[in-house]
Amino acid sequence: MNAIEQKCRNILLKESIDLDSKIDFEVNGTLHTLSFEYIIESFMQASEESQAVFLVALEKALHLKEKGVSQFFENMGQLLLMTHLSNKIEV
């Protein structure tokens, strides 16, 4: 686990936000469930610059309290799903 990932986890723990919190997404009638932990781990596979942007965005979402954090993870989850699904599209 790198330092940025650890900071993200520590932020959530400090704010008493469970890493196992999950968000459900329905895509074409199929339900996809992503946990906050999975979303963090997925984004930590990106470049160091992208990881830093993720951390800054998470910190800004905290200023909006729990609703901001939930919305942040919902948006990041949607981005992951869109990226995953677009990689499966054959042109």
For 29-87, the pLDDT digits (tens) are: 889 999 999 999 999 999 999 999 999 999 999 988 768 899 999 999 999 988 876 66
d(CA 47, CA 31): 29
Q: Full-prediction pTM beyond 0.85?
A: yes
d(CA 28, CA 2): 35
Are the CB atoms for 34 and 25 separated by under 8 Å? yes
